[in-house]
Amino acid sequence: MHIALSSERDGRVLITPLDGSGERQGEQQHVSRSALPAAVALLEAERHPRWVWDDTTRWYPSLLAGGVRVERCADLRLRRTILRNSDLTASTPLALSAPDAWDAPAGAQDAADGLFELEERLPLDPVAEFAWQQGSAVSGLALLLSAESAGALVAAEIQYAGLPWREDLHRDLLERTLGSRPVSGERPQLMEALVVHIRQALEAPQLNPDSPAELLKALRRAGVMVSSTSKWELTEVDHPVVEPLLRYKKLARLLSANGWHWLEANVRDGRFRPEYVVGGVVTGRWASKGGGGALQLPRQIRGAVVADPGWKLVVADASQLEPRILAALAADRGMVEAGSASDLYAGIVARGAVGAREDAKIAMLGAMYGATTGDSGRLMPALARAFPKAIELVENAARAGERGQKVSTLLGRSSPFPSEAWREMQSRASSDAATDADRKRARTEARTWGRFTRNFVVQGTAAEWALCWMASLRRSLHELSGGAWFTRGPHLAFFMHDELVIHCPAEVADAVADAVRDAAVEAGRLLFGTMPVTFPLTVAVVDNYGQAK
């Protein structure tokens, strides 16, 4: 059972029941915007449909605000992106058609109007688009299409519910770490004190350490021969300025990224409401937007995330997700077995591939990111001998990218083609007129694109695992809530690539911890069937996010 929602020119909403292929099935209704939540709630209860709409971010927030949660949806815009780009649908009319308004980015319908011809600016018809998509979709993409849409529901629900945030604790942290809040334009006391030390150590009384250019000059004048002012380079240097400078940088970062200004802009009524962009990264990872920086919440301030009285936070983190994904994706038995205990890297050492756990970690990162030099590059041959299938998979992905081909994740999301400029560079380099410089530059660019496609298959498949994990958990949390409005019971409150935070009444925290583990098992089964691969979680039941890990 599917039901499409679409806007009409008169501002009302058209409700169209559909069958699974997109054929109309039964009577349409028209309702006003204000009557929509009630109409959806009724149909949801009676028929449990999959709601078909152009863009979850255009429909779901107002339904949630109206007290209506839905079970399933088909987000046509997200599905369009997958279907247009996937290798699995490359020869379908949809993939071959010219881009239209359905290809515009999330929430950009209005901004996109100028990009398309007049006739494309008519209200989008979800019924026609759904039928077209259903005709183009192949069975191999079904899981990805539904997981992506489920992700859109999760993202909207997280934003609606928000992450509980204690503004008072955040302010205490800022005052302890930076000093009391300065009048605008000035530095907090503890930062100003460090500036005095830095200026003395560099004999540069006017220095503004916030300016990388000025700072670099002052460092070099003082004999500190660095090529940038970055932390990793400064750590290598032995000079009295390094310690206060690194401390200053840390404080400056806290102030600008998560200081008083961030707090006022992003926390309201005790909640931080992250704004996720589902599918915002080409690999399928989520992105975030707005000043919130949802996907980079620093550890330093997680102490301000505190469960409501009588509630708990269940924090779950998928350990070593990407290397485990690679092992399973490649069906590399040795690497899957190395990961059968809780620590994959220890398992790699135990199998004799490398000598130390730290080497195993560096080597695996190098394999996934494409390192060729340094410690990571040196360890690669040993890793390739021990785990030939896993390494072959990432090498093949890199070679395909270097040739300008697409690569795909397990569930069928494909990488984009490289740019036209990239292709021209490659063909110029292989022509008779090519100079050595042409060839060299083309080779460098080919390798760069190869590192992207190499990483794409692992990062993208890990993102698919995470989508399945969330979708599965969302279902079981709903069951645990026993019919109450979802924010009254256990609900997802935060997501960060391989980590979830669930806010829940204390009495169900243990059940939630079990549910989040079960959901990880289910995600592994959805992606890899009966392969004996495990995705262990670190689960903590805490009052305060800072207490986890």
Q: Which tokens in the block code for residue 524?
A: 């592994």
366 near DNA, rule: CB under 7 A: yes
The rounded distance, in Å, linking the Cα atoms of 154 and 491 is 10
- Provide, rounded to whole angstroms, the least separation between the CB of residue 256 and DNA: 4
Which member of 17, 188, 274, 292 binds DNA (CB under 7 A)?
292
Q: Environment class of residue 120 by beta-carbon count within 10 Å: exposed (0-12), middle (13-18) or buried (19+)?
A: middle
Identify the H or E element spanning 164: strand 163-164
344 near DNA, rule: CB under 7 A: no
- Provide, rounded to whole angstroms, the least separation between the CB of residue 283 and DNA: 6
- Provide, rounded to whole angstroms, the least separation between the CB of residue 548 and DNA: 10
Alpha-helical (H) ranges within 162-206 are 167-178, 189-202
Region near DNA per CB under 7 A, out of 27-35, 103-111, 295-303, 343-351: 295-303
HSE-up (13 A, CA, CB side) for residue 360:
22
439 near DNA, rule: CB under 7 A: no
Which member of 230, 430, 435, 538 binds DNA (CB under 7 A)?
230
Q: Which tokens in the block code for residue 261?
A: 């200004």
232 near DNA, rule: CB under 7 A: yes
User: How many other CB atoms are there within 10 angstroms of residue 198's CB atom?
Assistant: 22
The rounded distance, in Å, linking the Cα atoms of 527 and 342 is 20
373 near DNA, rule: CB under 7 A: yes
Nearer to DNA, 131 or 152 (CB): 152
Please calculate the CA angle 413-417-418 and round it to the nearest 5 degrees.
135
- Please, what sign has the CA dihedral across residues 122, 125, 128, 133? positive
Site string for DNA, 192-211 (x = CB under 7 A): ----------------x-xx
The rounded distance, in Å, linking the Cα atoms of 466 and 150 is 11
User: How many other CB atoms are there within 10 angstroms of residue 14's CB atom?
Assistant: 17
- Provide, rounded to whole angstroms, the least separation between the CB of residue 165 and DNA: 16
Site string for DNA, 149-178 (x = CB under 7 A): ------------------------------
Q: Which tokens in the block code for residue 417?
A: 């083609």
297 near DNA, rule: CB under 7 A: yes
352 near DNA, rule: CB under 7 A: no
Helices and strands: H and E segment counts in the chain: 22, 14
| Count of residues touching DNA (by CB under 7 A) | 62
β-pairing, 13-18 with 271-272? unpaired
Region near DNA per CB under 7 A, out of 48-56, 287-295, 306-314, 515-523: 287-295
Region near DNA per CB under 7 A, out of 85-93, 101-109, 165-173, 294-302: 294-302
Which member of 107, 377, 388, 404 binds DNA (CB under 7 A)?
377
Which member of 6, 455, 472, 481 binds DNA (CB under 7 A)?
455
For residue 298, CA distances in Å to 250, 319, 546 come to 11, 18, 10
Residues that bind DNA (CB under 7 A): 208, 210-214, 216, 228-232, 249-250, 253, 256-257, 262, 277, 280-283, 285, 287-293, 295-300, 321, 362, 365-366, 369-374, 376-377, 440, 444, 447-448, 451-452, 454-455, 459, 496-499
